């Protein structure tokens, strides 16, 4: 392992205990759970802020490593026979020294728990794009190794489109501000309709998050979105898997 990766080799430099909550991502067409997103929580279920406030430039590498391993280990215990359900893990691009070296703990955790890399989705936020060349190297390496990738908060900043021209992730999660009240907002409907069409043309799956009402869910489905996430379907469940309320949407059609 390169010397530069010594700091993230075993995650020993982050000493704050934490756990995970899981929120389902649903496929509204097949009425199934597509994946669960792993979300950092305190060990008693406290919000992510109680943990993230302790992350700094010195321990972010170790924290990123521990998050991946914790998410995989917990999910492997909870999933059981749900072998085809994905697991979305948020990662910090600036906490990766060298992709192939820094992925070793993740690969070891996946092998140990028999969690297939093809079911792991590495998710990053558009606002975290500090070094595009470095990020592209990470994303291409992860894809070569069989992992899937997703860009979060797509449309919230200026970097997303520029990145999309160079690399097409498997999934793009549209910023929730774009979909709030979309069932009654013609401007948002137009923006999302064209964004979804563009993503489909590029072979990228659109995913809308932050959905809170049946109206928003129906409007998005009418615009061609089939992957959705939000309180309307299920809130995050601490160290457990929530059962999304897919029937609510069908009942209101």
**pLDDT digit string, tens, across residues 184-230:** 999 999 999 999 999 999 999 999 999 999 999 999 999 999 999 99
pLDDT at 90: 92
pLDDT at 127: 65
> Is residue 8 within 8 Å of residue 58, measured between CB atoms?
no
| Res. 82: pLDDT tops 80 | no
Domain positions in the chain are 16-248
To the nearest 10°, report the CA torsion of 163, 166, 167, 168.
Answer: 80
pLDDT at 175: 87
Q: How far apart are CA 172 and CA 206, in angstroms?
A: 5
How far, in Å, are 23, 90, 95, 137, 225 from residue 45 at the CA level? Answer: 14, 18, 25, 35, 31
**pLDDT digit string, tens, across residues 51-60:** 999 988 888 8
pLDDT at 95: 74
How far is residue 84 CA from its own chain's centroid?
Answer: 16
% of the chain residues with pLDDT over 90:
64
More confident residue, 50 or 236: 236
> Is residue 229 within 8 Å of residue 37, measured between CB atoms?
yes
How far, in Å, are 19, 44, 78, 111 from residue 22 at the CA level? Answer: 10, 14, 10, 21
pLDDT classification of 236: cutoffs 50, 70, 90: very high
Q: How far apart are CA 126 and CA 151, in angstroms?
A: 6
* Number of neighbouring beta carbons within 10 Å of residue 185: 16
For 153-244, where are the alpha helices, taking DSSP H only? 159-166, 176-179, 186-201, 214-222
Residue 163 φ then ψ, to 5°:
-65, -40
Single out the residue of 65, 64, 44 nearest to residue 52, CA to CA. Answer: 64
Which pTM was predicted? 0.90
In this prediction, residues 30-44 reach a mean pLDDT of: 96
Cβ-in-10-Å burial (0-12, 13-18, 19+) of 136 comes to: middle
Q: How far apart are CA 113 and CA 76, in angstroms?
A: 6
Residue matched to tokens 């899937």? 148
Helices 132-144 & 159-166 angle (0-180, nearest 10): 50
In this prediction, residues 32-43 reach a mean pLDDT of: 96
**pLDDT digit string, tens, across residues 122-137:** 998 866 666 788 889 9
Q: What is the DSSP letter of 4?
A: G
* Domain boundaries 16-248, corresponding CATH code: 3.20.20.450
In this prediction, residues 158-174 reach a mean pLDDT of: 88
More confident residue, 94 or 27: 27
> Is residue 73 within 8 Å of residue 40, measured between CB atoms?
no
For the chain, where are the alpha helices, taking DSSP H only? 49-52, 60-79, 99-102, 104-113, 132-144, 159-166, 176-179, 186-201, 214-222, 246-251
| Res. 238: pLDDT tops 80 | yes
What does the mean pLDDT of the chain come to?
88
| Res. 1: pLDDT tops 50 | no
In this prediction, residues 11-30 reach a mean pLDDT of: 90
More confident residue, 102 or 50: 50
Q: Is the dihedral of CA 244, 249, 250, 251 positive or negative?
A: positive
pLDDT at 6: 56
Q: How far apart are CA 195 and CA 19, in angstroms?
A: 35
pLDDT at 155: 76
């Amino acid at each position: 392992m390169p010397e530069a990766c010594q700091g993230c080799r075993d995650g020993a430099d982050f000493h704050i205990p934490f756990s995970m909550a899981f929120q389902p991502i649903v496929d509204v067409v097949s009425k199934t759970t597509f994946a669960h997103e792993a979300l950092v929580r305190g060990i008693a279920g406290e919000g992510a802020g109680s943990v993230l406030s302790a992350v700094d430039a010195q321990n972010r590498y170790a924290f990123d490593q521990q998050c991946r391993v914790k998410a995989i280990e917990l999910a492997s215990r909870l999933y059981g026979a749900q072998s085809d359900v994905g697991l979305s893990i948020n990662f910090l691009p600036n906490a990766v020294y060298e992709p192939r070296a820094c992925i070793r703990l993740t690969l070891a955790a996946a092998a140990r728990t028999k969690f297939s890399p093809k079911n792991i989705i590495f998710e990053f936020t558009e606002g975290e794009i500090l070094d595009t060349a470095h990020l592209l190297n990470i994303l291409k390496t992860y894809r070569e190794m069989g992992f899937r990738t997703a860009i979060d908060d797509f449309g919230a900043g200026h970097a997303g489109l520029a990145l999309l021209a160079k690399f097409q992730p498997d999934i793009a999660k549209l910023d929730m501000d774009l979909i709030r009240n979309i069932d009654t907002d013609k401007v948002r409907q137009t923006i999302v309709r064209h964004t979804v069409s563009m993503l489909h043309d590029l072979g990228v799956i659109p995913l809308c998050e932050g959905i809170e009402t049946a109206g928003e869910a129906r409007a998005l489905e009418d615009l061609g979105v089939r992957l959705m996430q939000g309180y309307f379907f299920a809130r995050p469940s601490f160290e457990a898997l929530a059962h999304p309320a897919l029937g609510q949407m069908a009942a209101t059609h």
